Amino acid sequence: MTAQWQTELADAVRDPAELLRMLELDPALLQAARAAGRQFPLQVPRAFIARMRKGDPADPLLHQVLPLAAELESHSGFSNDPVGDLASRAAPGVLHKYHGRVLLITTGACGVHCRYCFRRHFPYADESARQHDWREALEFLRADASVNEVILSGGDPLSLSDQTLARLVTALEQIPHITRLRIHTRQPIVLPSRVDGALLTWLKNCCLQKVMVLHVNHARELDTAVTAALLRLRTAGASLLNQSVLLRGVNDSVAELAGLSEALFAAGVIPYYLNLLDRVQGAAHFEVSEDQARILIKGLQARLPGYLVPRLVREVPGAPSKLPLMDMPARVSPAGG
C-alpha cells in the first residue's frame, strides 16, 4: 500500500514553470531555472512550497531550491567531491572517515533537491550500500569492532520504505559492537507526513540509541506540522540535533541565525552545527567567507545563551573530524539535562 508521504513525494513539484506560477513569480526566471535544472533537477514538495512567500524571489526557502544561472558558472577551488567522499570509500556505499563511525550511502533519493548540496554530483548509481541487500556494508561493519555508530545518509535515508529501513536496522542490531544509530535527514522538515505510524513503529522498537540529525537552515522551515512531527520523533526515543549550512541569501545574518536557533530549541532540537559551505561546483553563489562567518557567530554569542550558538565548522577532506572554526561554550539539552 502506498503511504501518504509517498503520494506527496510523487506529487512534488519538478517543473520550474509550475513553481514560478504557484509563487506568482516573474516568468523571466524560467529560462535559467530550466538550464540549471538540466544538471540537477528541481524537486520540492508542496508542503515546503506552502511555507514560501508569494511574489518574493528572494524568499530564503525558495532560494534553497530554485535553480539559477549562477549554478552553471565554474569556479576555481570548487569541485565535484569537495569533502573527499570517494577517497574515504571502504566498501560500496560505505564511507569511513572518522574513528568509531561509519556512514552508509543508503539511497540517492531526497525529498527536496537543495541547490548547495555537496553530493549533487555524487555517483549514486555506482555507490550504494543497499546493493545486494546491504551485504558488503554489513560484512564491513561486522568485521570492524572499533565502529559503534552507524550513520544512515544519502540522499535522504527516509526516502526508503519503512520495510527496507526496518530490515536494515534489525541487521545492525545484531552486530554486538554497534550501539548507536544516527540518521541524517531533511524529510521530516520538507515532508512532515513522512513521520507516520510505520516509521515511528520501527524507530520505537529499535534497541540502538537513536540520534536524528536534521537539516534546517531557516526558522520559517519549522511550521506547525513540522513541529508536531519532531515531537513524534522525540516521543519515539530519538535525540534531535540540527546541522545548518551557512548560505548567502538564506541565513547570513545574526537575526536569521538567532531566529533559527530559537525556533529549533522551541521544537526540542539542539542547534548543533553551522557548516561553512562545502565548495561544490554549482554552489559558489551561496558562499559566505570564513571571516564573515566568525563575525556572525560573535553576534550570536552576544545575543543568545551559549547552548543556542551552533558550532561553526568546516569539513576538510582527510581530517579526523569536522574542524571547529571557533571555541564554543558547553551546551545543555532542551529537557534541561
110 is a site residue for ligand SF4 (CB under 6 A) = yes
Least distance to ligand SF4, CB of residue 184, Å: 7
Using CB under 6 A, pick the residue from 51, 97, 113, 210 that binds ligand SF4: 113
Least distance to ligand SF4, CB of residue 186, Å: 4
The residue to which cell 556572525 is assigned: 296
Nearest to 288 by CA among 300, 274, 309, 271: 274
Least distance to ligand SF4, CB of residue 119, Å: 5
User: Which CB atom, from 117 or from 258, has the smaller least distance to ligand SF4?
Assistant: 117
Question: For residues 23 and 17, is the Cβ–Cβ distance under 8 A?
Answer: no
Using CB under 6 A, pick the residue from 97, 119, 285, 322 that binds ligand SF4: 119
112 is a site residue for ligand SF4 (CB under 6 A) = yes
Using CB under 6 A, pick the residue from 37, 45, 82, 155 that binds ligand SF4: 155
114 is a site residue for ligand SF4 (CB under 6 A) = yes
182 is a site residue for ligand SF4 (CB under 6 A) = no
Residue 41's φ and ψ, nearest 5 degrees, are: -65, 150
Which residue stretches of the chain are H helix? Answer: 4-10, 16-22, 30-37, 46-49, 60-63, 135-143, 162-173, 187-190, 197-205, 224-235, 254-266, 290-303
Least distance to ligand SF4, CB of residue 332, Å: 27
Separation between Cα atoms, residue 33 and residue 16, nearest integer Å: 6
Least distance to ligand SF4, CB of residue 10, Å: 17
Separation between Cα atoms, residue 81 and residue 84, nearest integer Å: 6
Give the interface segment with ligand SF4, choosing from 67-75, 112-120, 270-278, 288-296 (CB under 6 A): 112-120
User: Which residues are CB-neighbours of 68 under 8 A, at least 6 positions away?
Assistant: 32, 33, 36, 115, 285
Question: For residues 110 and 48, is the Cβ–Cβ distance under 8 A?
Answer: no
- Site string (196-235) toward ligand SF4, x via CB under 6 A: -------------------x--------------------
169 is a site residue for ligand SF4 (CB under 6 A) = no
186 is a site residue for ligand SF4 (CB under 6 A) = yes
Under rule CB under 6 A, which residues in 252-311 are in contact with ligand SF4? none
Give the interface segment with ligand SF4, choosing from 10-18, 152-160, 203-211, 281-289 (CB under 6 A): 152-160
Using CB under 6 A, pick the residue from 95, 117, 257, 280 that binds ligand SF4: 117
Give the interface segment with ligand SF4, choosing from 90-98, 105-113, 275-283, 298-306 (CB under 6 A): 105-113
User: Which CB atom, from 178 or from 186, has the smaller least distance to ligand SF4?
Assistant: 186
Separation between Cα atoms, residue 293 and residue 326, nearest integer Å: 10
DSSP 323: E
Question: For residues 324 and 313, is the Cβ–Cβ distance under 8 A?
Answer: yes
Measured at the CA of 109, the angle between CA 56 and CA 172, to 5 degrees, comes to: 130
Using CB under 6 A, pick the residue from 156, 162, 256, 278 that binds ligand SF4: 156
Nearest to 103 by CA among 82, 81, 88, 116: 88
Residue ranges binding ligand SF4 (CB under 6 A): 110, 112-114, 117, 119, 154-156, 186, 215
